[in-house]
Structure 1
Amino acid sequence: MRDVRSISCAKVRNVVSVEIATEDAVAIVATMDTKQAEAHFVADIVSGTGRSVVFVDVGTSNDGNSRSIDPAALLAEIAGKARKSVNELFEAGKVSAVIGIAGGKGSGVFGEVIADLPYGFPKLLVSSARPALLAELAGRSDILLYPTLVDLFGVNGFTSRVLVNAARAITAMHYIPRAISRQRMVAITSFGVTTPAVNACVRLLGEKQIESIVFPANGAGGRKMESLVDADEFDAVIDLTTTELADELLGGTASAGPDRLTAAGRRGIPQLIAPGAVDMVNFGIRSSVPSRFAERELYVHTPYTTLMRTTPEETSAIGHLTAQKLSQSRGPIQVLWPSKGVSDYDRKGGPFHDPEANRAWLSGLRAALPGTIPVRELNCHINDPEFASAAVEWVLDHIDTETADENV
């Protein structure tokens, strides 16, 4: 007999903590009013490996009163209760993996349920939802997605193949928390046009036995870095590529949202800030560029990416926004300014070379930056070796040396 517990997250019911026989349980999040057969099918496979199961029911039809409630409000409340329950199970050490079985609505709920679980905690979603929703979920978490391609209407010759593999996969996964004593790690933001600088920083930090975790400054990357900094995963940040702020201000496709450039300040860890790639805003194919920018300086980076050069007024606003965010920080900060260019496209003879626009970023920054935050100007390009050397040297002077590697 399998070891199974169940939590119902219906609107009118209280969600209570449950006792699990083992501390290595798999949570199965599903709408048990519509996906019960699939959930029990997966549970049988999981329990057959010796791991226990807890069901988290996010269905909406298990109480007659639910029909009189606004559907969106009901889903939000159910998601909130399920999120709280899963967090409690995680904090108590009761579950070490979670799998969702869902259609469109259930997939959205699953994204909320696992939102607080840490990086590396196994999260797998078997879903028949539309690709756009799955792409959105993938941008918000380190979730593993298993699209079914066919709709989930019971266990049959098609869905059973997916469910068996998903069940076997989740049972093979276990959460491995970050060790208290471990190698120091620095988060670095990168873009193709700042890659030489990032490569140099990674090499220099490696020479000091410090790991570099690089995040693409493409919107999703910046959001994930901020969340992991908040989760205390890093000892310092080299925010070399702050281009996502340009997209946030001007409606580009690589915005990381309003919380970008805030987590390190809240945590109080050292952060090195540079204006990497603030000379550009990202859009999709050429025809996707908004009509209001039709006469602007555009560069087709790839068939799927069109870049727009920022103007002096825009870079001033980006610098001003950067200063406002940094002014809330409570840890050590250094701003590095490369006077000869902020990206590979911003070199003499390059498509985005515009020293006036670059200088406007610095002016906008200084207009709002507290005098306690130093700005260092370097007479080099951001991708010149001396820029990376200065960035890493500052981080090495400020990183917590007490977290040196002992167990790696």
Structure 2
Amino acid sequence: MAIVATMDTKQAEASFVADIVRSTGRDVVFVDVGTSKDEKSRSNDPAALLAEIAGKARKFMNGLFEAGTVSAVIGIAGGKGSGVFGEVVADLPYGFPKLLVSSARPALLAELAGKLDVLLYPTLVDLFGLNGFTSRVLENAARAIAAMHYLPKAKSRRKIVAITSFGVTTPAVNACVRLLGDRKIETIVFPANGAGGRKMESLVDAGEFDAVIDLTTTELADELVGGTASAGPDRLTAAGRCGIPQLIAPGAVDMVNFGVRSSVPPRFAERRLYAHTPYTTLLRTTPEETNAIGRLTAQKLSASRGPAQVLWPSKGVSDYDRKGGPFHDPEANRAWLSGLRAALPGTIPVRELNCHINDPEFASAAVEWVLDHVDTETADENV
């Protein structure tokens, strides 16, 4: 097991964790990301120094993993060390046990959680040596990580399809999962909440999937309008780059996500808002915004190296976008389609369906297209 820590400041804590891990029968290797021994530690650019140390430690960690030396990693850190830990483990695969014991501010931990499948154990007190509080946290963390082992992806001939989802597109996703399951195709569903979209893109790049049903592209709305669920500029690029089949739909592009009502920027105060939960406020996108989202979708799809198709549901793109619903706005929806068609290459077909995105026929059409482009003959029924 690897222990990542700034050994110049967290020696006592790291040694304490190492002793507990060894008592369970596992060996440890220390990855020192401290700065005091570095000749540049007095530099006027501490951020650059940390980046350099993180880069070296990341390379070292990757070497340990590739050699099969480590099967889990634990970090012990404050604010700076937590950021470095995120860099050090960034290339480790999904499912590799990563646990961070940290006294960093919650916002930093939330940022890490949005990028990595890392288990976070906030200490709530600062890490200044061992005491009655920190020793409790560290012992629990040490015993927890000692019980974890990396389980490499099993070799399987079963096909896997990634699907994007949101609460307001859940019926469509459920139907897709069921229909693909009937054909012995496994599905992995990602919440289109920013973190989910980023993780899906990275796993597509890693070759984990045979196709994508990108049913819920709402993260593009947040990226363009400034919501809290943006997945960043690389969203909707990996499948095209890797050449795997991708089915695209405008799921939930009628909304942009914010937190509690008071967190909505003042410039949107007079816009159409809806409280999805007490902690989530949704902003209805305008025709101008949906047109721009459609154009952005087309621009990203234009770089696709593999088969792609767009499915358009004429009767609504989310559960809130129905007659009588809080976000029903056919004009805004049509603006998405107009923007898409204006920028989409003629080689990528657009199929219009006279139904709502959550109607059964929409999911059937999406799955039918995927089945036409994925070889299902090699599906392993024993998986």
The whole-number CA distance in structure 2 between the counterparts of 1:232 and 1:64 is 41
Do residues 179 (structure 1) and 154 (structure 2) align? yes
Do residues 35 (structure 1) and 10 (structure 2) align? yes
Residue by residue over 1:138-174, the C-alpha shift from the partner in whole angstroms, topping out at 9 and shown as x without a partner, is 1111101111122111122221111112111112111
Match of 1:253 in 2: 228
Matches within 5 A, 1:14-93: 26-93=1-68
Match of 2:167 in 1: 192
Matches within 5 A, 1:7-406: 26-401=1-376, 403-405=378-380
Residue by residue over 1:301-322, the C-alpha shift from the partner in whole angstroms, topping out at 9 and shown as x without a partner, is 2221111111111111000000
In the alignment, residue 67 of structure 1 is paired with which amino acid?
Answer: R
The whole-number CA distance in structure 2 between the counterparts of 1:37 and 1:268 is 50
In the alignment, residue 129 of structure 1 is paired with which amino acid?
Answer: A
In the alignment, residue 243 of structure 2 is paired with which amino acid?
Answer: G
CA shift at 1:404, angstroms? 2.0
The whole-number CA distance in structure 2 between the counterparts of 1:31 and 1:182 is 43
CA shift at 1:101, angstroms? 0.5
Give identity over the alignment, percent: 89
Tell me if the contact between 1:182 and 1:407 (Cα under 8 Å) persists in the aligned partners: no
In the alignment, residue 133 of structure 1 is paired with which amino acid?
Answer: L
Q: Tell me whether 366-375 or 174-183 shows the greater mean CA deviation.
A: 174-183
SS at match of 2:327: coil
The whole-number CA distance in structure 1 between the counterparts of 2:144 and 2:161 is 31
Tell me if the contact between 2:243 and 2:307 (Cα under 8 Å) persists in the aligned partners: yes
Residue by residue over 1:200-257, the C-alpha shift from the partner in whole angstroms, topping out at 9 and shown as x without a partner, is 1111111111122111111111111111111111111110000100000000111110
Tell me if the contact between 2:5 and 2:33 (Cα under 8 Å) persists in the aligned partners: yes
Tell me if the contact between 1:181 and 1:406 (Cα under 8 Å) persists in the aligned partners: no
CA shift at 1:376, angstroms? 0.5
Residue by residue over 1:275-308, the C-alpha shift from the partner in whole angstroms, topping out at 9 and shown as x without a partner, is 0011111111222221222221111222211111
In the alignment, residue 52 of structure 2 is paired with which amino acid?
Answer: E
Tell me if the contact between 2:96 and 2:150 (Cα under 8 Å) persists in the aligned partners: yes
CA shift at 1:405, angstroms? 2.0
Tell me if the contact between 1:222 and 1:244 (Cα under 8 Å) persists in the aligned partners: yes
Tell me if the contact between 2:40 and 2:49 (Cα under 8 Å) persists in the aligned partners: no
Residue by residue over 1:30-84, the C-alpha shift from the partner in whole angstroms, topping out at 9 and shown as x without a partner, is 0000001111111112222222211110001113542134111111111111111
Structure 1 stretches lacking a partner, 5+ long: 1-25
The whole-number CA distance in structure 1 between the counterparts of 2:38 and 2:236 is 44
Cα pair distance change 1:205/1:406, threshold 3 Å: closer
The whole-number CA distance in structure 2 between the counterparts of 1:316 and 1:237 is 23
Cα pair distance change 1:246/1:65, threshold 3 Å: closer
The whole-number CA distance in structure 2 between the counterparts of 1:232 and 1:59 is 35
Residue by residue over 1:69-124, the C-alpha shift from the partner in whole angstroms, topping out at 9 and shown as x without a partner, is 41111111111111111111111221111110001110111011111111000000
Q: Tell me whether 28-37 or 392-401 shows the greater mean CA deviation.
A: 392-401
SS at match of 2:71: strand
In the alignment, residue 133 of structure 2 is paired with which amino acid?
Answer: F
Structure 2 stretches lacking a partner, 5+ long: none
SS at match of 1:96: coil
SS at match of 1:281: strand
SS at match of 1:206: helix
Normalising by structure 1, we get a TM-score of 0.91
SS at match of 1:300: strand
Tell me if the contact between 1:235 and 1:400 (Cα under 8 Å) persists in the aligned partners: no
Normalising by structure 2, we get a TM-score of 0.97
Tell me if the contact between 1:181 and 1:407 (Cα under 8 Å) persists in the aligned partners: no
Tell me if the contact between 1:182 and 1:406 (Cα under 8 Å) persists in the aligned partners: no
CA shift at 1:182, angstroms? 4.4
Tell me if the contact between 1:181 and 1:403 (Cα under 8 Å) persists in the aligned partners: no
The number of residue pairs the alignment matches comes to 383
The whole-number CA distance in structure 2 between the counterparts of 1:406 and 1:240 is 26
Q: Tell me whether 77-86 or 153-162 shows the greater mean CA deviation.
A: 153-162
SS at match of 2:335: helix
SS at match of 2:149: coil
In the alignment, residue 286 of structure 1 is paired with which amino acid?
Answer: R
The whole-number CA distance in structure 2 between the counterparts of 1:65 and 1:221 is 38
